[in-house]
């Protein structure tokens, strides 16, 4: 049995093991065990833990930059200065996406209008652009544009 350890920030920590004979590397979850000893999956020699690797579960910077580009290209009223203000306002991409999603779902754009230079209409356009990119459904912003019969 193997365990994946998660820290308080939600990051995943994995143990890295190395064979003492053939230098085969693997995470502990992929190492066979014989009589309680971690052994090499190739030559069955004993393995020893060499390090741990922490995988972040937060949005990678390139994905955040890509989303900002989509917002700049797709949302009416958003230019380079607005993107700069968004980048200064939010600590990371996850915070930005979470805030925009909450605005999109509730129809309350207060957390976006707090950004320098972003008004109600621009905030709604940001929410709609990101919702389309991320395939969100059921937002109040979309329902306000529904035509009645």
Per the domain annotation, does 72 fall within a domain? Answer: yes
**Residue 147 domain-assigned?**
no
Q: How far apart are CA 129 and CA 5, in angstroms?
A: 36
Please tell me the predicted confidence (pLDDT) of residue 51.
81
How much is the pLDDT for 49? 87
**In terms of residue numbers, what domain contains 98?**
61-141
Residue 83: the pLDDT is: 94
**Under 8 Å between Cβ of 72 and 42:** no
Helices 93-106/120-134 angle, 10° precision: 110
Let me know: does 132 contact 145? Beta carbons within 8 Å: no
pLDDT (0 to 100) of residue 16 = 86
Q: Cα torsion at 63, 71, 125, 147 (round to 10°)?
A: -80
- The pLDDT tens digits for 8-67 are 555 667 888 888 899 888 878 777 788 888 898 889 889 888 887 776 677 888 899 999
Per-residue pLDDT reduced to its tens digit, 96-138: 999 999 999 999 999 999 999 999 999 999 999 999 999 988 7
Q: Is residue 85 domain-shared with residue 131, that is, in the same domain?
A: yes
If asked whether residues 49 and 66 sit together in one domain, one would say no
What tokens were used for 96?
């930005």
Helix or strand holding residue 97 (H, E)? helix 93-106
In the structure encoding, which two tokens stand for residue 41, read together?
């999956």
Q: Note whether residue 15 is domain-resident.
A: yes
């Amino acid at each position: 049995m193997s365990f994946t350890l998660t820290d308080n920030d939600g990051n995943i920590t994995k143990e890295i093991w190395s064979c003492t004979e053939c230098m085969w590397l693997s995470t502990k979850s992929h190492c066979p065990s014989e009589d309680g000893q971690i052994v090499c999956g190739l030559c069955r020699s004993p393995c020893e833990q060499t390090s741990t690797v922490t995988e972040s579960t937060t949005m990678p910077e390139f994905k955040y930059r890509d989303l900002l580009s989509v917002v700049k290209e797709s949302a009416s009223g958003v230019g380079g200065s607005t993107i700069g203000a968004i980048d200064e306002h939010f600590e990371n991409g996850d915070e930005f996406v979470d805030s925009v999603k909450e605005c999109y779902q509730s129809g309350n754009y207060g957390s976006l209008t707090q950004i320098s230079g972003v008004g109600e209409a621009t905030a709604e356009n940001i929410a709609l652009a990101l919702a389309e990119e991320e395939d969100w459904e059921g937002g109040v912003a979309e329902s306000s544009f529904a035509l009645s019969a």
